[in-house]
Structure formats: C-alpha cells, structure tokens
A and B are shown apart, each in its own frame.
Chain A
C-alpha cells in the first residue's frame, strides 16, 4: 500500500493510475462485448443459445458464408462511400464555418453556438424530422428545390435506389457539422495571432497563409476530428433506421445496419457478429495506417 501511494506521488505512477482507471472501466464495460462478438462469430449461434458459451465451433466458416453473400460487396462499397463522403463534407463545411466565425463581427460567438443545437438533438428525433423533410411526395426539400427551379420533378430521396444512400449522408453531415466546427474552432483559436501578422508582413497572401500556417498547425485537431468522426460515422445507426432501413433493395445498406439486420431481423446472429468483427478490423487497420503516417511526419 505504501509503495502504491509513493508510486502515485511520482508523476509516472499517478498518470498510469489515472489512465488505468478509465481503461479499466472501458475494459469491464466495453471489452467484454467485443470479445463476445468475436467468440460468437466463430460459432454457430442461434437466438436461444445466447447466454452460454457452449456452442458448436465452426472456425472461419461464418466468415466465408458472409463474404460470399452477394450483398456483402454492395454493403462494403456503401459503407466506404458513407464514411468517406460524410467525413469529407463534415470536415470541409465544419472547417469552413470555423474559419468564417473566426472573423470579427458582432454576434459571431453567439451565432456559432447555435450550430451546436444540431448536435444535442436526440438521434431519434433527428431521424424523424429528416424523414419528413426528405419525403418524396410532400417533403419540403422537394418543394424548395422545385420552387428554386433546381429540379423539375420530385426526387424520391428515400426510395430511389440511386439517391437513398446520399440522403442518409446528407442527414449525417448535418449531424456532424457542429462537432467538427467547434473542435476546429478550438484549434484555430490556439494559433497565436502574431504568426499570421508576421506572415502578412512578409507578403504572404490569404491562401498562402492558410496552407503554410493554418493547415500545418491544425494537424492535431484535424487528426482528432477525423478519428472521432470516423467512429461517429460508423456508429451511425439511428438515421438508417429512421430514413431508409438500408433500402430500397440494400441500396443504402451499410455494415453497421446490415450487421443489426442479420442478428436481429433474420436471427443469423453469428453472421451479424462476423460483420461487426470485420468492422473493427477495418477501423483498426485504417487507424494504424493513420498513426503511422503522423509518426512519419513528426520525425522530420
């Protein structure tokens, strides 16, 4: 005990203890479900053997079954589009707005704060509201587009297989903008003004300043936003449930929703777990590549 207390007194011990407190909590409450998913993905499981671990082990057979399903390809491609497009637009619009509100004008902070309202809305409510806005026959978005002369006919946002995925992406971008904007605003505010002033004296234009000062100094916040954004995007479930249910004909189905459908609608629980394990593998791979690339940058 005395050793423990002493170790807490020196910095490393304290830091380690504090980190372990949180990690321990997560291990207890999150790691178990993950391990459980992995185990299930290797077994034959049905609805009624969920509570025991004593089930037939089938190795990678489930993985082969899932990957050979013709739906798998569609879902993978949709998931990639969903994640990449959501991230790119959330980031671009969020960054743009952060830069815009960085300027000095009356009410800037106040108006910027109003954007956060979108983020704190319960996802269930957001889904319901967007399903009304995007409705094909009586949706207000179609009305606005037609009045402005942008489209001639109603677009069936949720039931046209060529469009439905983009509808969910639009709603998801809407949800993600505030988070991106605020986090990036934090980063922008941390950049000392005098660097810009010095650059301006050296004759650097606005674009030059953006690319030589803002972007490099924003690397850390951008990294945080991208990694958290990836997680939020992959976690996005409620919008699919509220808007398209992955349809029509899987045109807007993504991994997280497909996994849920397999487990909870057709009760092929092993297959559902396979998809969720593959999702984790995918994210870990992307994240590993990302961390490697940032290490590389820092080393010179």
Chain B
C-alpha cells in the first residue's frame, strides 16, 4: 500500500514538472451531441493530446440552445466554446458576444479561409469578421426507393430531374390502397420547414428576402398539389424530416427529401435498394439550389482562455476529413475524404453541397423564418392563396429587415 502511494507521489511529481510550463486550463464546451458523438469523442482525443487542458462537455437540447445560451450569457454563466446552428450565429455575433477568429485564422497553419465552402463561410461571417468555424455541413437531396421504381415501371437509373418529372414519378408511385405515398418531405412549422422550402424558392430566383415572387407561388402550389392529391401524407404539415423519412424507411413512401444524417438509420431499417439524386429543378437548365445545414463551433467573447479555446476549435476543424465516415456530416471545406461510406450517395451530396446556400445571415433570422413557415402552412391548409400568403410573409420580412 505504502509503496503504491510512493509511486503515485513520484509519478505525480514527474508529471507536474513535465508540464510545468503549461498551466492547467479548463474550458467549458456546450454541444447538442450526446456522449459518443462528435464533441464528446473529439474532446477526449484533444485532452489526450493536451493533458493540461480540461474540457467539460455539457449537452443542451438543440431547440433549447439559443435560449439557454442567451440566458447564460445574460447571467454570466456561459461556456467558453459552444456549438451554434448556422442561422443563429449572426444573432450572437451581432451582439458582440462571440470572439472574432479572424486574427487567429490568419496566423493558423491549419485553417485556411479560402478552403471553406462559400455557404458555410457565409454562415460564420458577420460584418467582416469570422465568428466561428463550421464543424461540417449537410444539405438535402432526393432519396428514392429503386425497388418501387422498378415495380411502377420507372427507370431507377433515371430519377426525376425537373418538378414535372417529380410530380409524374410521385403519381406513379402512390398506392393509396397499400398506404404508400409517392413522396415524403417536411412542411412543418419549425425551422425545418423553412430549411426544406428555401431551395425550392431559390431555384426560381427568389430568396429569404424576396419571397413574394411568381416562382415562390409556383413552388408553394407545387407542394400543395402533392398534398391535395395525396401524393404526400397530410401529416407532412406536422412531421419533421426525421419522422418523414421514417415512413420512407418503413416502405410507406417511395421518395423522401432529407439529408445525409438519415443514412445510419436507413442502412439499418430500409431493406430495399435506396438511392439518392439531386433535388429536381423547376425546368431543365434552371438554376440549382440546396439547403445548407449543420452548425459551427464558436468561442464566446467572454472566455478567459481565448488561445486554448482556439486551439481546440482549430483541432476540431482539422478533423474535417473524418466527419463523413465517423459522424455523418459532409465536410464544410475542401478536403479529401478517403473511402467514403455509401460512395454513390456521398457523390450526390458532395455535388449538392456546391449549390447549398446559407439561411440569412440575419440577427433576427427566427422571425424571418417564422414568416416563411406561416406562408407555407396557410397555403397548404388552403387558408390562403399562395400569392397572398407570400405577400403577407414579404410584408413581415420587410418589417424585420427594416425595408
């Protein structure tokens, strides 16, 4: 027993002399991950490399993150580093609550501003500063059940490329007597609804600040037609993407619009030949667009240890080549992914990333998003015509933008 104590003491002494130059630093990290996921895994790895830095990880629910963070910042109990969903970065950056990483990035040998894809870069940029580093990215594409395509006499190697083709395919694939819908997507009144709708609007030339367009009405009416003709479930109005795609996995929908985060579950549950294709465009040759998701690692301006905090954020960024295979996101910067899993689907998402556009940025993004959600919902429930609903939304958005 005594011997053991002695050894401990000596070992402790050695250890403390070894790192005498580096002070013990502890960093608080908030994340939406659960143990075993991205932040937990990488924090462990980082601590192994830097034994003098202790990282305390805390999980916050995705939908609570902004509120909890704001409350913590207001009461002085905020973390050093946190994850923020990309449309929310501007909210915090505009208040000067986040640390500008630009000076650090300029000195960094690992982070190169030019390597970051324009969409993710736009999400962390606010008035010339860079307020975070993307941890990855995601986007949406069209999943389809190739077996059902064959059964319906469609060519699985030739998925729909335009909206009209998508409609025809959905119609051919819908089998009401078997409770099979042609397509599943999400028009829910949350950020997810906006996330799914914006690309449709953008493909017709509109954007979040310009919604009352002919193309916008066309997109909404297209969605409405899918619902009205029961080519998509009426529950599309209240289901998020995860539950919608759940019906696709269960064989109750022949196509589904969602992102790469579905793949782990799909590979377990979907016992059919599933494939992915780019989102169809309004007509051949039209501009492409896709949604940009995932979030960023940011450092709070109130941190006491900015250098160590950046070291960690930089380390996270360095792991970008691993995110697809290990964590299920797409890389947010130009890196080479070796032996990607689901290579064909990865190729589709990788291409789709080129068209992925950021939501905003705007510090009052949630109000803009809510106006869009309301337009979607009032149109799809038949309470308003698409044109009127979008005009109402435009009015609200103009109010927020101060136009």
Interface residues of A (CB under 8 A from B): 47-52, 135-138, 156, 158-161, 164, 244-251, 264-268
Q: A51-B75, A249-B381 are in contact. Are A266 and B370 (CB under 8 A)?
A: yes
Across-interface contacts of A246 in B (CB, < 8 A): 189
Cα A268 to Cα B189 in complex, Å, equals 17
Tell me if B338 counts as interface (CB < 8 A to partner A): no
Question: Which of B115-123, B208-216, B329-337, B372-380 has 4 or more CB atoms under 8 Å from chain A?
Answer: B372-380
Given A248-B380, A249-B377, A264-B67, verify A137-B233 contact (CB < 8 Å): yes
> Per DSSP, are chain B's interface residues mostly helix, strand or loop, or mixed?
helix
B212-241 at interface with A (beta carbon < 8 Å): 233-239
Please report which residues of chain B, range 161-215, place their CB below 8 angstroms from some CB of chain A when the two chains form the complex. Answer: 179, 181, 188-190
Residues of B within 8 A of A (CB): 66-67, 70-71, 73-75, 91, 95, 97, 179, 181, 188-190, 233-239, 247, 252, 364, 366-367, 370, 374, 377-378, 380-381, 383
> Are B70 and A48 touching (Cβ within 8 A)?
yes
CB of A206 to closest CB in B, whole Å: 46
A245 touches B238 (CB 8 A): yes
With A50-B70, A137-B252, A138-B179 in contact, is A247–B367 under 8 Å at CB?
Answer: no
Q: List 8 A-B contacts (CB under 8 A).
A: A47-B91, A48-B97, A50-B75, A137-B247, A159-B234, A159-B235, A247-B237, A249-B189
Give the Cβ gap from A101 to chain B, nearest Cβ, in Å: 37
Q: How far is the CA of A246 from the CA of B377 in the complex (A)?
A: 12
Given contacts A158-B235, A159-B238, whether A249 and B70 have CB atoms under 8 Å apart is no
Contact partner, A247, options B73, B189, B233, B252, Cβ 8 Å: B189
Most buried by A among B95, B370, B381: B381
Contact between A136 and B366 (Cβ–Cβ < 8 Å)? no
Inter-chain CA distance A248–B377, complex, in Å, is 6
Cross-chain contact A247 with B377 (CB below 8 angstroms): yes
Q: Is the CB of A48 within 8 A of B73?
A: yes
Please give me the 8 A-B residue pairs with the lowest Cβ-Cβ distance, nearest first.
A249-B377, A47-B70, A156-B234, A248-B237, A51-B74, A159-B237, A50-B74, A161-B381
Assuming the contacts A47-B70, A136-B234, A138-B252, asked whether A249 and B383 have C-beta atoms less than 8 A apart, the reply is: yes
Closest residue on chain B to residue A157 by CB atoms: B235
B381 — which chain A residues lie within 8 A by C-beta? Answer: 161, 248-249, 251
A266 near B366 (CB under 8 angstroms)? yes
Give chain A residues whose Cβ lies under 8 Å from the Cβ of B238.
Answer: 158-159, 164, 244-245, 247-248
CA distance A6 to B366 in the complex (A): 61
Cβ contact of B188, chosen from A48, A247, A251, A267, cutoff 8 A: A247
**Which residues of chain A have C-beta atoms less than 8 A from B235's C-beta?**
135-137, 156, 158-159
Per the bound structure, the CA–CA distance linking A20 and B181 in Å amounts to 62
CA distance A215 to B380 in the complex (A): 48
Chain A residues within 8 Å of B236, by CB: 159
Closest to B369 in A: A266
Instruction: Give the nearest-CB partner of B189 in chain A.
Output: A247
**If the complex has contacts A138-B252, A245-B190, A249-B377, are A47 and B66 also in contact, measured as CB distance less than 8 A?**
yes
Extra inter-chain contacts (14) besides given A48-B70, A136-B235, A159-B235, CB under 8 Å: A51-B75, A159-B234, A159-B237, A160-B234, A161-B383, A244-B238, A246-B189, A248-B237, A248-B238, A249-B377, A249-B378, A251-B381, A265-B366, A266-B370
Cβ B95 vs Cβ A48 within 8 A: yes
User: Are the CB atoms of A50 and B190 closer together than 8 Å?
Assistant: no
Q: Which residues of A contact B179 (CB under 8 A)?
A: 137-138
Closest residue to B193 on the A side, CB-wise? Answer: A247
The answer for the CA separation of A248 and B238 in the assembled complex, in Å, is: 7
- Would you give the shortest CB distance from A243 to chain B, in whole angstroms? 8
Q: Which residues of chain A have C-beta atoms less than 8 A from B233's C-beta? A: 136-137, 156
Chain A hits for B252, CB < 8 A: 137-138
A248 to B233, CA, bound (A): 14
Residues of chain A contacted by B239 (CB below 8 angstroms): 159
How far, in whole Å, are A160 and B73 apart by their CA atoms in the complex?
40
B248 to chain A, nearest CB (A): 12
What's the Cα separation between A238 and B236 when bound, in Å? 21
